[in-house]
């Protein structure tokens, strides 16, 4: 495991950086291209461990993937999909690594084809719940075998599918997408209704691949099958979740001035901006030319004079679930007590993020309390350096690194290599913006 030592910041965070491409959209663009008839061109694909898991899975399932180039903006891929012939039977299990998106979306993709595929993952992914996807797929006619506690390994026995009108008990873009992708193989209309809006990248991107998606409201999406995807050209914008970590760092470090171009500002992803603005952050959102159907903007961030506590209600959480750890760190420097409600989903992420945030903030001297699905953070004037662990969770690794810049004394982040899941160049970018090494 890699250990990162962080010294207190002695300079502002200043400059311009294009954060890595969006992870959620990269997964979908690569996967949809692998499902399509013809050859797609996908630009600026996030080159991270999670997305590599999806690319590897496509290879084992019979899609052709060529890397045409790469650079700071991401990979350029030429992908020839399996199209009407369907995925091929792999010789062994398909390893999804640490990627819940890969595993859950593939369950939906495979459910309607005559294949038998076992999906596996690392120890962290193998603790994450898969029953929330398996149950609706079973109702459509697929056979899905799981470990006794509803986790990986999962074996999908594809079958002829019937459409379903599914009322999801959770707002989850992964669950929604898996069901819609299975619905592409069903004879009729498959509908998913959610209790709150979740990320809608699937609904926005499928039409580029020739599939119409009906959206009666932000809570409901439907596809009519059977239908095949056709090849497309897609460019992936910068990841708002990755941008959030640098935006909070610039907000909290005195005299900072940061510019983040090409950031996706899809309203299902930008809840963190609303929370930071309520707290008193100085962030200007300058709209730019859209990328396909995804709105794009440049974020300009200056350090805040002071921050005040706020309440984050449950209905706001689906639009910022991945940013709760870094928002909790912002709350640690705000005046008053900030309460996050309806955040129980954090307990089934790469780690028990809710408990990890509570214990990590407590370790650096922040008054914090947590329940089954809530978190309360009381702002404090000073943080103290401590030894913290990412627990193999990329969001925690970045949060604790930024905490180290704010804390007195030395902070050590164990298992820092977890950042490779979504932001492999995080350390390099932070050091460039600081003008010095972290330690």
Active site members: 322
Other Cβ atoms closer than 10 A to 308? 14
Which are the contacts of 144, defined by CB distance < 8 A and separation ≥ 6? 107, 111, 134, 137, 138, 154, 155, 156, 157
Half-sphere exposure of 117 (CA within 13 A, CB side): 29
Instruction: Classify strands 214-217 and 74-80 as parallel, antiparallel or unpaired.
Output: unpaired
Which are the contacts of 129, defined by CB distance < 8 A and separation ≥ 6? 150, 151, 348
And the tokens for 77? 């891929």
Residues 202 and 181: their CA atoms lie apart, in Å, by 9
């Amino acid at each position: 495991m890699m250990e990162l030592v962080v010294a207190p910041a002695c300079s502002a965070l200043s400059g311009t950086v294009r954060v890595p491409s969006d992870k959620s959209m990269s997964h979908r663009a690569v996967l949809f291209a692998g499902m399509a008839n013809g050859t797609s061109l996908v630009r600026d694909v996030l080159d991270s461990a999670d997305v590599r898991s999806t690319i590897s899975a496509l290879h084992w399932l019979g899609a052709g993937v060529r890397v045409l180039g790469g650079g700071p903006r991401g990979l350029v891929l030429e992908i020839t999909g399996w199209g009407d012939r369907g995925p091929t039977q792999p010789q062994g299990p398909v390893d999804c690594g640490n990627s819940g998106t890969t595993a859950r979306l593939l369950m939906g993709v495979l459910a309607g084809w005559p294949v038998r595929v076992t999906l596996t993952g690392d120890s962290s992914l193998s603790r994450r719940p898969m029953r929330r996807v398996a149950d609706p797929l079973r109702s459509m006619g697929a056979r899905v075998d799981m470990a006794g506690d509803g986790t990986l390994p999962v074996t999908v026995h594809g079958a002829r599918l019937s459409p379903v009108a599914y009322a999801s008990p959770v707002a989850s873009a992964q669950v929604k997408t898996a069901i819609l992708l299975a619905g592409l193989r069903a004879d009729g209309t498959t509908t998913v209704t959610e209790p709150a809006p979740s990320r809608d990248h699937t609904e926005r991107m499928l039409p580029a691949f020739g599939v119409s998606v009906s959206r009666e409201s932000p809570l409901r999406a439907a596809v009519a099958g059977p239908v095949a995807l056709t090849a497309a050209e897609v460019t992936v914008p910068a990841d708002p979740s990755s941008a959030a970590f640098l935006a909070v760092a610039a907000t909290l470090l005195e005299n900072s001035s940061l510019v983040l171009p090409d950031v996706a500002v899809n309203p299902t992803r930008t809840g963190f901006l609303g929370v930071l603005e309520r707290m008193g952050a100085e962030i200007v959102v300058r709209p730019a030319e859209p990328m396909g159907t995804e709105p794009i903007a440049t974020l300009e961030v200056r350090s805040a004079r002071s921050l005040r506590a706020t309440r984050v209600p449950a209905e706001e959480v689906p639009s910022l679930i991945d940013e709760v750890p870094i928002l909790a760190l912002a709350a640690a420097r705000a005046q008053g007590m900030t309460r996050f409600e309806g955040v129980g989903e954090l307990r089934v992420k790469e780690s028990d993020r809710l408990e990890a945030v509570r214990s990590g903030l407590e370790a650096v001297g922040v008054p914090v309390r947590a329940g089954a699905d809530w978190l309360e953070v009381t702002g404090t004037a000073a943080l103290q350096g401590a030894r913290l662990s990412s627990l193999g969770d990329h969001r925690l690794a970045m949060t604790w690194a930024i905490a180290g810049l704010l804390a007195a004394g030395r902070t050590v982040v164990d298992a820092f290599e977890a950042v490779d899941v979504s932001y492999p160049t995080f350390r390099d970018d932070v050091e460039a913006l600081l003008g010095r090494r972290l330690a």
